[in-house]
Amino acid sequence: MEIKEIPFQVFDLENMAAEEHPGVTGKAFWKTVSRGNVRIRIVDYTPGYLADHWCEKGHAVFVLKGEFESELRDGRKFTLKPGMCYLVADNTDAHRSHTKEGVKLLIVD
């Protein structure tokens, strides 16, 4: 990721209004700041959430609270817990998220 033409800025993601995004099951709530070519999100998945699509976008994903599974289209599955993260580039490993108990993530893409 190359961050371009964005001056120093401070944001309070925790106190922003959340956008609701339904999954196959459960819901995702996004608090998002987009500047230039960068998007930063705090994302909460409700218990039982399963993403409704295979994502091809690159991300840096950090688990703040809870636990979730990132499944790759090729069948590999990775369980991430607080303090863990993953990186994936655009158009490489299609992935989707699932959580049994709910999770809170910081996502930069």
Token pair of 40 as six digits:
């930063």
10 falls within a domain: no
Instruction: Tell me the residue range of the domain where 64 lies.
Output: 17-108
Q: 66-101, pLDDT tens digit by residue?
A: 999 999 999 999 999 999 999 999 999 999 999 999
Q: How far apart are CA 31 and CA 71, in angstroms?
A: 23
Residue type, 53: H
Q: What is the CATH number of the domain that holds 41?
A: 2.60.120.10
**CA 33, chain centre distance (Å):** 13
30 falls within a domain: yes
Place of tokens 């959430």: 49
Phi, psi of 36 (to 5 degrees): 55, -125
Q: Which residues contact 57 (CB under 8 A, 6 or more apart)?
A: 90, 109
2 falls within a domain: no
What's 82's DSSP letter?
Answer: T
**Model confidence band, residue 2 (pLDDT cutoffs 50, 70, 90):** confident
Query: Would you state the pLDDT for residue 1?
Result: 73
5 falls within a domain: no
68 falls within a domain: yes
Q: 28-64, pLDDT tens digit by residue?
A: 999 999 998 899 999 999 999 999 999 999 999 999 9
**Model confidence band, residue 26 (pLDDT cutoffs 50, 70, 90):** very high
Query: How much is the pTM?
Result: 0.93
For the chain, how many structural domains are there in total?
Answer: 1
1 falls within a domain: no
